Amino acid sequence: MTKRPNFILFITDQHRADYLGCYGHPIVQTPNIDGMAERGVTFDKFYVASPVCMPNRASLMTCRMPANHGVRMNGVPLSKRNVTFVEVLKEAGYKTALIGKSHLQTFTGMAATQKIPKAREGYFQPNGPLSEAVRHDLAEAVYKVEEPDFWSGPQPKVPTPFYGFDHVELVTGHGDHIGGDYTAWLLEREPEAAKLIGAENQLSHDYSCPQAVRTAVPAELYSTTYIAERAEAWLAEQAEGDQPFFLMVSWPDPHHPFNPPGKYWDMYDPDDMPVPEAFTRNDWTPPPHVGGVIEERNAGKAALQGMNAIGCSAREAQEAQALTCGMITMIDDCVGRVQAALKKSGRAEDTVEIFTTDHGEHLGDHQLLFKGAEQYEQITRVPFIWADPQATGGLRTDAIGQTQDIGTTILERASIEAPWGMQGIDLIDGKDRSVAFIQYAHQKPMDGLAVRPHVHSVRDAQYRMSVFQGMNWGELYDLEADPGEFVNLWDDAGMASVKLRLLEQLAQAEMAHVDQAPMPTGRA
């Protein structure tokens, strides 16, 4: 058997594909990530399984679609009945480590928005384990490791193995309101850190963009730096070792709030950022779910400090772009630190480096910020770079891949059979998907529509089609003729044959991803 390689998976949060130099961004500086692309394979058509944190991170870990692993939306912890590819690596003899963000469990401590409806008058309502169609243990303490209460006790420590990770140094939250193991590290270096954190303590600035926060936390104490430092330390411990390892280095940026620290705040000028096309054309009619978000902002009803998509102005879009670029360049600098530590450890020639993110961000496209039920390319298309020192580098591919393929590709490269029922494919062996299949759901109703979104999409080499449960409309875009996705062809009679073909592909994708686990235990 050939020697099994090591793996480092770099992952960011809410980072769209076109905000890297190697993906064509004309301004943002990402030399270290671009260097991975020069040494590896860059996927130009790589898509999420779901364009929101928890479902897609669960798909990364399980190599399965949200409908199968159970994390259909944010707010559902990943049940440990699921097998993760990291557990399989561990069983095969790998050392496994997670440094940074997990978000396989909820980390706000806030109650769910969606509730089981109350019983109708005169009806008995089952309780406890009978109140839902599937029994589960998701209310148990083992699924509350990422919540604030877990970290409020003396010297808390993540119980391991944690979804297959033997070594865990956890970061929870966004911006400078970060918890987990990072908190103790920060307080050790700055006991008065509470006076630096949050919008109430921010440095002065003239940005108008919602959630633009000029954090007073210096760059050397910011969570991005913490993650790089701890990854460096872990790699130093692997120096010249023989045991193969898998290390996930997971940053919570560039997710909003937009708060790059120190020099990264004004590294990029909003005036240098493009005004998104949606603000310059007069022939665009937003589809209902997008129009509802824009109208909520215009009416002064948008949750500007929330997580879901909001409408924005052109200037706000430019500011958000500039600040996002600052956060991305800081991450890239830290990627370089980790890469240098890998080389110093003597393990670089045996290590596959991988870069991806969990989903994208609007940044003003279609007059929106953040992310939501909108399935535009800016939200669903993400970077994926695979840099294998034993393979030819500097390659690009149009092969369609998805988040659930990452783990199965890692297992294949390590000569490990994927467990039955995993739904990913091996991306490096020339395999391809005819379409990307994307599932999205959310607890919060869509703005202006009062309906919780349940959206399934397919994206082939040319078109994107999205079907909304319970709606008498959908979306169909020709990405070759209309790369900005402004002309909805759903009701275009001339597109009937294309629409029918895509509906068939959607049906085929739904059937192909029906759960194949568990295996039969016998014959009936």
Instruction: Give the Å distances, CA to CA, from 118 to 44, 126, 233, 274.
Output: 47, 11, 52, 50
Give the other-Cβ count within 10 Å of 363's Cβ: 27
Note the pLDDT of residue 448: 81
- Kindly state whether residue 197 falls inside one of the protein's structural domains: yes
Model confidence at 193, pLDDT cuts 50, 70, 90, reads very high
- Kindly state whether residue 121 falls inside one of the protein's structural domains: no
Instruction: Give the Å distances, CA to CA, from 458 to 59, 202, 475.
Output: 17, 42, 11
Q: What is the CATH number of the domain that holds 271?
A: 3.40.720.10
β-bridge pairing 95-101 and 167-174: parallel
> Model pTM?
0.97
β-bridge pairing 167-174 and 177-180: antiparallel
Nearest-angstrom CA–CA distance, 175 and 216: 11
pLDDT digits (tens, 9 = 90+) for 256-305: 999 999 999 999 999 999 999 999 998 999 999 999 999 999 999 999 99
- Kindly state whether residue 474 falls inside one of the protein's structural domains: no
Residue pair 258/310 in contact (Cβ under 8 Å)? The answer is no
- Kindly state whether residue 119 falls inside one of the protein's structural domains: no
Q: Which residues are bridge partners to 456 per DSSP?
A: 439, 467
Instruction: Give the Å distances, CA to CA, from 216 to 194, 197, 225, 261.
Output: 10, 7, 15, 7
- Kindly state whether residue 128 falls inside one of the protein's structural domains: no
pLDDT digits (tens, 9 = 90+) for 407-463: 999 999 999 999 999 999 999 987 789 999 999 999 999 888 889 999 999 999 999
Nearest-angstrom CA–CA distance, 153 and 157: 10
Strand, coil or helix: 8: strand
Is pLDDT above 50 for 77?
A: yes
Is pLDDT above 60 for 213?
A: yes
| Token couple for 29 | 């500086």
- Kindly state whether residue 53 falls inside one of the protein's structural domains: yes
- Kindly state whether residue 130 falls inside one of the protein's structural domains: no
pLDDT digits (tens, 9 = 90+) for 84-135: 999 999 999 999 999 999 999 999 989 999 999 999 999 999 999 999 999 9
Structural domains counted in the chain: 1
Higher local confidence (pLDDT), 155 or 329: 329
Is pLDDT above 70 for 2?
A: no
Residue pair 196/215 in contact (Cβ under 8 Å)? The answer is yes
Note the pLDDT of residue 373: 94
Average pLDDT, the chain: 96
CA dihedral for 368, 371, 374, 376, sign (positive or negative): positive
Note the pLDDT of residue 1: 44
Phi, psi at 396, each rounded to 5°:
-130, 150
DSSP for 187-225 reads HHH-TTGGGT-SGGGPPP----STTB---SS-GGGSHHH
Instruction: Give the Å distances, CA to CA, from 52 to 75, 174, 373, 379.
Output: 11, 14, 9, 9
pLDDT digits (tens, 9 = 90+) for 364-386: 999 999 999 999 999 999 999 99
CA dihedral for 17, 18, 21, 27, sign (positive or negative): negative
- Kindly state whether residue 216 falls inside one of the protein's structural domains: yes
Strands, sheet with 454-459, edge to edge from the N-terminal-most edge strand: 436-441, 454-459, 463-468, 474-478
pLDDT digits (tens, 9 = 90+) for 7-64: 999 999 999 999 999 999 999 999 999 999 999 999 999 999 999 999 999 999 999 9
pLDDT digits (tens, 9 = 90+) for 333-356: 999 999 999 999 999 999 999 999
Angle between helices 314-345 and 223-237 (to 10 degrees): 20
Note the pLDDT of residue 201: 97
Q: Which residues are bridge partners to 384 per DSSP?
A: 356
Residue pair 68/456 in contact (Cβ under 8 Å)? The answer is no
Domain that holds residue 419: 6-110+138-433
Please give the single-letter amino acid code of residue 293: V
